[in-house]
Amino acid sequence: MDWLVFALMGTIFFSAAGVMDKLLLGSYARDSKAYIVCQILAQQVFTILVLAIMGIDFIYPESMLAAVMGILQLFPSVFYMRAVQVEEASKVAALEYFYPVFVFLGAFFLLGETLAFRHFAGGLLLIIGVLLISYRHQDKGEGSFVKLALSPALRPFIPYWISMAIYCIALKCLLESMNEWHLYVWSSLGSLMAIMPLIANPSVRQGVMVFFEGGTSAIGALLSEETFMFLGIIFSIFAYGLGSVTIVTSIGALQPILTLLLIIILGLILPGKVKETLDRNSLIQKSLSFIIVLVGIYFVS
């Protein structure tokens, strides 16, 4: 059950990184693309560290495919950051974990994993859970009805779900013939190549400069976020290498609950730092949707 330990640890660190993303985007960064550039630049600190300790091998064509995978990973990152900017961190974490449905479908058609009735039932529960968490109350004023509207984060998550499913399946395929550490290094270098066109954009460069003008507090917070992200990626890569792609992905359903717990703890320590609605009705809505998503992921896996 080593894969389960790795998957759980990856989920915990990804939850912490998600909360840090919300903090950084609210405090130091206004442009999501500029923030992604800052992330990938900071990521190279860990890439250099892995290179110094583990070294690197070039395996054709796996190393090139891993670099391409790192380039393509930029696209879900852009959609994810857009969602983080317009929605609460706990809702983003819940919406994020609809992509296991696409992972399972891809694993069924490409990797030969079986499809049973419970998987269809799990997919239906995931849809219900995602729709429930995506609804938000809109108070139209005194004496008016309270209207329901879909979260603005739902639209950027549609391409995110598809691209993340492709990423997870490609990750599993590459790990059949590639070392986990080498996969991390080559995909990280691919991500570095992917941000070059963004750096060429003057507005993005300006956003990067504004971020680093935040001084040691901004840089320290960014390095903390990337430490959590690095640990989440490494633990997840090892989990995918040891376990089934659909089952490992399903463990991530715990992330919304962990994210909400971290936000509540952070709210007690640093009140007002993360904007999150924690009134009774909102907590009931979030808790119910989290339970439905968890049950759905259980059936899908």
Higher pLDDT, 117 or 137: 117
Instruction: Report the C-alpha gap between 182 and 173 in whole angstroms.
Output: 14
Name the most confidently modeled range: 3-7, 35-39, 96-100, 144-148: 35-39
Q: What is the pLDDT of residue 24?
A: 87
Residue among 244, 236, 246 nearest 122 (CA): 246
Give the domain ranges of the chain.
2-300
- Kindly report whether the global pTM for this prediction surpasses the value 0.75: yes
Residue among 101, 103, 98 nearest 120 (CA): 101
Mean pLDDT calculated for residue range 47-61: 89
Instruction: Report the C-alpha gap between 294 and 285 in whole angstroms.
Output: 14
Instruction: Report the C-alpha gap between 56 and 48 in whole angstroms.
Output: 11
Name the most confidently modeled range: 76-85, 171-180, 191-200: 191-200
User: Residue 278's pLDDT band (boundaries 50, 70, 90)?
Assistant: low
For residue 256, say if its preceding peptide bond is cis, omega within 30 degrees of 0: no
Q: If you average pLDDT over every residue of the chain, what do you get?
A: 81
Residue with tokens 């998600």: 18
Q: What is the pLDDT of residue 1?
A: 58
Please report, for residues 67, 144, 174, the alpha-carbon distance to residue 59 in angstroms, rounded to integers and kept in the order given.
12, 64, 11
Please report, for residues 76, 85, 109, 169, 245, the alpha-carbon distance to residue 112 in angstroms, rounded to integers and kept in the order given.
25, 38, 6, 12, 12
pLDDT digits (tens, 9 = 90+) for 129-154: 766 766 655 544 444 444 455 667 67
pLDDT digits (tens, 9 = 90+) for 211-259: 988 889 999 999 999 999 999 999 999 999 888 787 787 777 677 777 7
Instruction: Report the C-alpha gap between 122 and 138 in whole angstroms.
Output: 30
Residue among 192, 29, 174, 163 nearest 96 (CA): 163
3-state secondary structure 215-279: HHHHHHHHHHHHHHHHHHHHHHHHHHHHCCHHHHHHHHHHHHHHHHHHHHHHHHHCCCCCCCCCC
